[in-house]
Structures are given as structure tokens and as C-alpha cells.
């Protein structure tokens, strides 16, 4: 079974404003690199790191969204060291810092907010049941919806600074298919 690990985020300097670098979280062989031009969003698969026969799925951290600006490695498996740049992204407007608090009090409870801009969906496909509904008990890590950006869907999980490990959904704020901006409330929990 593969483990999952977030890539390390390095915010660009003023000279290369609007760029974000995603760095290797370890030493090993980097494979399944994505091509230049591909869009990366939070929780998206961004390749695999093989270290001593163990495979780790690399995922995009929360708050990072953009288009890959650098070319993929020439080799199928590229040797990498800790902190080596794997992707350089042209960041999209509306992405928020991963360190930013994405919850706060709102009428009736705590707001769970969108980590980036996109179209919010309550269900995985038309006709399928919603990920969550008012009255549902949810725990950290549970999927609460999908955010779509340019036909790329990213799971939005119940997690964030200030949220309890277990909560009850009071109400859904964003409608199914609504356009949301980074930081807009998606649902309210207590």
C-alpha cells in the first residue's frame, strides 16, 4: 500500500512573483511526473517518490493551485534529494496560503471555507447522494464536496485550524454547482 505525503511549498521571491515551487519531501527516485501545462490543485496526485523499495504518493498541499511551468524530467525515474524542486507553478488568482486559517465563527457555528476558487459540488456525480447533508456527523478527513477548476476536480476535506475533530453539519452554505471564491463559506458545523 502506498503512503501519501504532501509536497513542500516554497513561495516565490518578489523577482518571480506569482510562482510557487513544490519541493521533494524526501530522497529517492521521482516518477510519474506530470507534464508542463497540467493544472495542479490541492490533494491532486503529483507523482510518486520511491525510496528503498517503498512508494510514496506525492500530493499537492492545501492552498496551492496553479499550472505547471517547468518541463517534466527526461527520465522515467529521476533521482532527487530532499528539498529539490519538482514543480514550479504559475499560481492562479484566488489561492490562499496553506497556513491561513480557513474557519471562523459564522451565524450558527463554525464556517468551513473554500481553500481556493472554483465550482463547488455536493455530490460526486449527478444522481449520487451528497457527500454531506445537514445533520450529518463528520470527522476530520471526511470529504465534504468537490471543487472544480478547469475540468479538474479536487476533493475538499473536513479539516482545518480551529475545527473540532468531530462535528455536526448545521447547514450547507454553498449550493450544488455554485461558483465560490477562496475563503467563501461552504458549510457550517457545530
Q: Is the dihedral of CA 36, 39, 40, 43 positive or negative?
A: negative
pLDDT at 58: 92
Stretch 75-101: mean pLDDT, rounded?
75
CA–CA separation, 23 vs 116, rounded Å? 21
pLDDT at 99: 38
Query: Is the domain of 10 the same as that of 83?
Result: yes
pLDDT tens column, 152-165 = 888 888 876 677 88
What's the domain count of the chain?
A: 2
Kindly report the backbone phi and psi dihedral angles of residue 183, in degrees, each rounded to the nearest multiple of 5, phi listed first: 90, -10
Query: Higher model confidence: residue 21 or residue 104?
Result: 21
Query: Is the domain of 87 the same as that of 126?
Result: no
pLDDT at 103: 43
Secondary element (H or E) of residue 4: strand 3-6
Domain closes at, from 91, 119, 142: 91
Cell digits of residue 33: 511526473
Domain closes at, from 67, 91, 115: 91
Inside any domain, residue 97: no
Residue 63's domain comprises 3-91
- The answer on pLDDT for 108 being more than 80 is no
Cell digits of residue 32: 510519474
Secondary element (H or E) of residue 86: strand 85-91
Q: What is the pTM of this model?
A: 0.51
pLDDT at 133: 93
Query: Is the domain of 118 the same as that of 60?
Result: no
- The answer on pLDDT for 96 being more than 50 is no
Quick check: 135 and 169 in contact, CB under 8 A? yes
Inside any domain, residue 162: yes
pLDDT band (50, 70, 90) for residue 98 = very low
pLDDT band (50, 70, 90) for residue 16 = low
What is the CA 49 to chain-centroid distance, rounded?
A: 19
Shortest CA distance to 122 belongs to which of 102, 146, 99, 101?
146
CA within 13 Å, CB half, 20: 25
The dihedral formed by the CA atoms of 101, 97, 148 and 155, expressed in degrees to the nearest 10? -60
Query: Is the domain of 81 the same as that of 123?
Result: no
Amino acid at each position: 500500500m502506498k503512503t501519501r505525503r504532501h509536497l513542500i511549498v516554497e513561495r516565490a521571491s518578489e523577482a518571480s512573483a506569482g510562482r510557487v515551487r513544490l519541493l521533494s519531501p524526501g530522497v529517492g527516485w521521482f516518477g510519474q511526473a506530470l507534464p508542463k501545462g497540467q493544472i495542479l490543485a490541492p490533494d491532486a496526485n503529483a507523482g510518486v517518490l520511491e525510496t528503498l523499495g517503498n512508494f510514496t504518493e506525492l500530493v499537492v498541499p492545501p492552498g496551492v493551485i496553479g499550472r505547471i511551468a517547468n518541463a517534466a524530467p527526461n527520465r522515467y525515474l529521476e533521482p532527487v534529494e530532499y528539498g529539490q524542486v519538482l514543480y514550479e507553478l504559475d499560481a492562479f488568482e484566488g489561492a490562499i496560503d496553506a497556513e491561513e486559517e480557513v474557519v471562523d465563527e459564522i451565524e450558527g457555528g463554525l464556517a468551513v471555507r473554500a481553500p481556493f476558487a472554483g465550482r463547488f459540488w455536493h455530490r460526486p456525480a449527478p444522481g449520487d447522494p451528497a457527500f454531506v447533508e445537514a445533520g450529518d456527523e463528520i470527522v476530520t478527513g471526511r470529504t465534504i464536496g468537490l471543487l472544480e477548476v478547469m475540468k479538474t476536480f479536487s476533493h475538499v476535506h473536513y479539516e482545518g485550524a480551529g475545527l473540532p475533530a468531530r462535528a455536526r453539519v448545521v447547514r450547507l452554505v454553498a449550493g450544488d454547482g455554485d461558483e465560490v471564491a477562496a475563503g467563501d463559506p461552504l458549510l457550517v458545523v457545530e
